[in-house]
């Protein structure tokens, strides 16, 4: 069995999962967050080296204040809990996206977690928070333009690797497998540059129910794919 080195997950369906149980959306987020606590250990047990999850998009600010506030509270809590998860799994954590939109105390917690976990490298865990692919590319282009203006970057020398190096995911391999839970089959502004050759796996299982057996199913399906990267496979 080939285990994908880098798995990216759009963790979707918390709200619908809660609604089906007659509960408020925020209850779904609490349970989704519980699952987020477990998924790193699951990924490590399955042999995955890089795990990237989409937890809050640049578009998710459009939700009700009550829902956004509930999510921010969960993220604060999660950053603290993640310190222990990173120690247990020898896991380095990076937050991708633009943290500047968050309250200063949440930004501090993010920084603390990133600094603490930077000593580890058995598992690399990326959490996308206030992340949008278009926003990431826009921020990257601004910095590139700034570097050109300063004379630190020659436009003629720009390659695909240069661009990758300006993205939030710099230094990380591209995802091999993308999973989206809860039935929707779209990217919703996630890692558009990085997913150029990634295999996609969609499941109807909602995020709070996505467990080790479901993760293993996705990897099994990945193994049946015929990856080509534009070339022709030898028989």
Nearer to Mg ion, 12 or 199 (CB): 12
In the region spanning residues 171 to 210, those forming contacts with ligand IPE, defined by CB under 6 A, are 182, 184, 186, 188, 207
Among 14, 52, 130, 169, binds ligand IPE (CB under 6 A): 14
**Which letter does DSSP use for residue 208 in this model?**
G
Q: Which residues inside 62-101 make contact with ligand IPE, applying CB under 6 A?
A: 71
Instruction: Return the residue of 3, 5, 16, 139 that touches ligand IPE, per CB under 6 A.
Output: 16
Distances (CA, A) of 1 to 43, 47, 143, 219: 15, 11, 41, 8
CA distance 59 to 12: 14
What is the closest distance, in whole angstroms, from the C-beta atom of residue 179 to ligand IPE in the complex?
A: 11
Residue labelled with tokens 């699952």: 35
* 92: Cβ contacts below 8 Å, ≥ 6 apart: 86, 117, 118, 119, 120, 121, 123, 124, 125
**Nearest to Mg ion by Cβ — which residue?**
12
Helix 104-117 to helix 65-89 angle (10° resolution) is: 20
Please answer whether residues 110 and 164 qualify as being in contact, where contact means their C-beta atoms are separated by less than 8 angstroms: no
The Cα–Cα gap between 148 and 170 comes to 19
Residue nearest to ligand IPE (CB): 15
Indicate which of Mg ion, ligand IPE, none lies near residue 70 (CB less than 5 to 8 Å, by partner kind).
none
CB of 167 to ligand IPE, least distance (A): 18
Of 42-50, 54-62, 145-153, 164-172, the window that binds ligand IPE (rule: CB under 6 A) is 54-62
- Do 81 and 111 contact (CB within 8 A), yes or no? no
d(CA 60, CA 71): 10
35 catalytic per annotation: no
* 12 contributes a contact to Mg ion by CB under 5 A: yes
Chain contacts with ligand IPE (rule: CB under 6 A): 10-16, 32, 54-57, 60, 71, 182, 184, 186, 188, 207
Catalytic residue numbers read: 12, 60
């Amino acid at each position: 069995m080939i285990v994908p080195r880098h798995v990216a997950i759009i963790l979707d369906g918390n709200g619908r999962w809660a609604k089906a149980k007659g509960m408020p959306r925020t209850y779904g987020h609490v349970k989704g967050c519980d699952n987020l606590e477990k998924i790193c250990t699951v990924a490590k047990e399955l042999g995955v080296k890089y795990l990237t999850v989409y937890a809050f998009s640049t578009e998710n600010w459009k939700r009700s204040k009550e829902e956004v506030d509930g999510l921010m509270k969960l993220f604060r809590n999660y950053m603290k809990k993640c310190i222990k998860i990173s120690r247990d799994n020898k896991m380095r954590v990076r937050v991708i996206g633009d943290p500047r939109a968050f309250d200063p105390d949440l930004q501090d917690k993010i920084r603390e977690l990133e600094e603490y976990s930077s000593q580890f490298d058995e598992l690399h865990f990326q959490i996308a928070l206030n992340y949008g692919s278009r926003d990431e590319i826009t921020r990257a282009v601004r910095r590139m333009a700034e570097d050109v203006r300063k004379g630190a970057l020659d436009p003629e020398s720009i390659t695909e690797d240069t661009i990758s190096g300006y993205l939030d995911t710099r230094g990380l391999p591209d995802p091999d497998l993308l999973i989206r839970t809860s039935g929707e089959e779209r990217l919703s502004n996630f890692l558009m540059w990085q997913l150029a050759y990634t295999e996609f796996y969609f499941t109807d299982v909602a995020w709070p129910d996505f467990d080790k057996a479901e993760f293993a199913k996705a990897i099994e399906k990945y193994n049946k794919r015929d990856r080509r990267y534009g070339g022709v496979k030898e028989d």
